[in-house]
């Protein structure tokens, strides 16, 4: 009877968690969904502690208090540009928790051979350790502590393959029932897994970082699920599997947004030949061989306007259909409130205003959606790349806000670059282009953007927040 009661309690908690998780589809519902999921996790914590005898409850309580206070302090101090690095760090924290629990269980219950529990523990150990080290590299790159571009070692693929083979052989020898040797082998296994995570992550950079973040989210959940198997905890298995599944789906979405498969991201971008067509997405599920990748042509001299602010205001007044394209620069300048306020002013003056969101804009999946939701932009004003690209030819004005790689025509005109073949927002097809970026330097991928030299482009360089305050003031004066 007790086991049936426990099962029902677990199912109720899992259903609460999944119901909250299912509300993450829209920013408005995500707030309540987040609270529901947190409530389910709190219930799970209470249930687990009630079912098991805690030998030293004061240690658990102290650890919970320290962790909670530190988590609250970090969350309160982190701004919007630091969130991607914090998310990557949190994935690493989940990974290290998974491999520590697996390590303790594998050394506490020395089981010969390879049963379900032993295999689950070894998988939790290796996946957790590589998630930890990989996430630390990702967090360092996103926080600009480490260099963002990909790092390729001599024989990088062979090193990666060699580490995988070593991990398999080391795991095989843990089938011995001798405890001292087992402890040594597990330490070696952790070291090899950490090295694999490091080698694997340093190879990924630039526009592929959202794919890495999504993948590490999935591996953190997978490691937690395997931990749940070895400690016989249904709640941990369910929660970990849910995170792993959602992270895997998101990884697939990010790869599709980059026009790559997962293998291409992890072994480095494929060198495209000049005859290789670039896949550009137009409409629901439709793919068109729109452009051919070619060698880079000599760039023309940049076009400069005597008074770019006046030119920008004139373009705004003459435009009927306006599309904003936000990027990481908007987050860096924390300009989302000023951008949304300017968009509202344009709409009040009779303009049709929309926001085009590229799936990999920013440093993590959904980064721009979070920023715009924070600024209370209506969700129906946001348009996905597949829906907006066919409309750019009929768009009077595109306003680029701190975006570079996601509007870089080099992705469809150059070969052998980190963004070659990546579907972009076709801003260069619009009648006028207003670029509100900090400077003309390349984006995160390190590839120069010929859009800056487009004859239709107006460059308002500088801090995006200050730029949009000037635009708002000047446009408001022009209406009076």
What is the spatial distance between Cα 475 and Cα 347, in angstroms, rounded to a whole number?
12
Query: Is there a contact between 163 and 196 (Cβ–Cβ < 8 Å)?
Result: yes
Residue with tokens 């408001």: 476
Q: Are strands 352-357 and 382-384 parallel, antiparallel or unpaired?
A: parallel
| Three-class SS of the chain | CHHHHHHHHHHHHHHHHHHHHHHHHCHHHHHHHHHHHHHHHHHHHHHHHHHCCCCCHHHHHHHHHHHHHHHHHHHHHCCCCCHHHHHHHHHHHHHHHHHHHHHHHHHHCCCCCCCHHHHHHHHHHHHHHHHHHHHHHHHHHHCCCCCCCCCCCCCHHHHHHHHHHHHHHHHHHCCCCCHHHHHHHHHHHHHHHHHHHHHHHHCCCHHHHHHHHHHHHHHHHHHHHHHHHHCCCHHHHHHHHHHHHHHHHHHHHHHHHHCCCHHHHHHCCCCCCCCCEEEEECCCCCEEEEEECECCCCCCCCCCCCCHHHHHHHHHHHCCEEEEEECHHHHHHCCHHHHHHHHHHHHHCCCEEEEEECCCCCCCCCHHHHHHHHCCCCHHHEEEHHHHHHHHHHCCEEEEECCCHHHCCHHHHECCCCCCCCCCCCHHHCCEEEEECCCCCCCCCCCCCHHHHCCCEEECCCCHHHHHHHHHHHHHHHHC
Catalytic residue ranges: 405
Sign of the C-alpha dihedral computed for residues 130, 132, 138 and 144 taken in this order: negative
């Amino acid at each position: 009877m007790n086991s049936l009661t426990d099962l029902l309690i677990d199912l109720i908690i899992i259903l609460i968690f999944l119901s909250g998780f299912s509300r993450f589809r829209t920013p408005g519902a995500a707030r309540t969904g987040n609270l529901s999921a947190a409530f389910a996790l709190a219930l799970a914590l209470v249930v687990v502690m009630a079912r098991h005898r805690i030998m030293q409850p004061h240690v658990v309580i102290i650890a919970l208090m320290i962790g909670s206070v530190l988590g609250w302090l970090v969350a309160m101090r982190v701004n919007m540009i630091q969130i991607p690095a914090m998310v990557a760090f949190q994935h690493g924290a989940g990974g290290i928790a998974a491999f520590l629990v697996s390590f303790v269980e594998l050394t506490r219950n020395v089981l010969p051979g390879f049963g379900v529990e032993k295999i689950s523990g070894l998988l939790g150990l290796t996946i957790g350790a590589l998630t930890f080290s990989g996430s630390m590299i990702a967090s360092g790159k996103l926080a600009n502590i480490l260099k963002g571009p990909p790092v390729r070692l001599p024989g990088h693929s062979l090193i990666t393959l060699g580490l995988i083979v070593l991990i398999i052989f080391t795991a095989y020898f843990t089938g011995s029932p001798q405890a001292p040797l087992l402890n040594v082998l597990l330490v070696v296994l952790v070291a090899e897994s950490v090295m694999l995570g490091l080698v694997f992550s340093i190879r990924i950079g630039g526009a592929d970082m959202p794919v890495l973040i999504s993948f590490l989210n999935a591996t953190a959940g997978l490691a937690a699920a395997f931990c749940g198997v070895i400690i016989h905890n249904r709640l941990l298995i369910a929660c970990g599997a849910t995170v792993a599944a959602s992270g895997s789906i998101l990884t697939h979405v990010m790869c599709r947004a980059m026009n790559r498969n997962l293998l291409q991201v992890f072994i480095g971008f494929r060198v495209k030949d000049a005859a290789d067509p670039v896949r550009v997405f137009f409409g629901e599920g439709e793919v068109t061989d729109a452009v051919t990748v070619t060698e880079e042509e000599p760039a023309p001299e940049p076009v400069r306007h005597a008074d770019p602010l006046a030119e920008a205001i004139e373009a705004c007044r003459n435009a009927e259909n306006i599309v904003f394209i936000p990027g990481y620069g908007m987050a860096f300048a924390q300009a989302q409130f000023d951008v949304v306020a300017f968009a509202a002013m344009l709409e009040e003056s009779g303009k049709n205003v929309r926001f085009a969101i590229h799936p990999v804009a920013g440093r993590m999946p959904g980064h721009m959606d979070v920023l715009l939701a924070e600024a209370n932009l209506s969700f129906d004003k946001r348009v996905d790349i597949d829906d907006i690209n066919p409309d750019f030819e009929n768009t009077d004005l595109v306003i680029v806000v701190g975006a570079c790689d996601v509007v870089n025509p080099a992705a469809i005109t150059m070969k052998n670059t980190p963004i070659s073949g990546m579907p972009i927002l076709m801003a260069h097809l619009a009648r006028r282009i207003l670029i509100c970026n900090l400077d003309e330097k390349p984006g995160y991928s390190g590839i120069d953007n010929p859009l800056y030299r487009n004859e239709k482009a107006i460059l308002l360089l500088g801090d995006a927040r200050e730029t949009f305050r000037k635009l708002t003031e000047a446009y408001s004066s022009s209406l009076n």
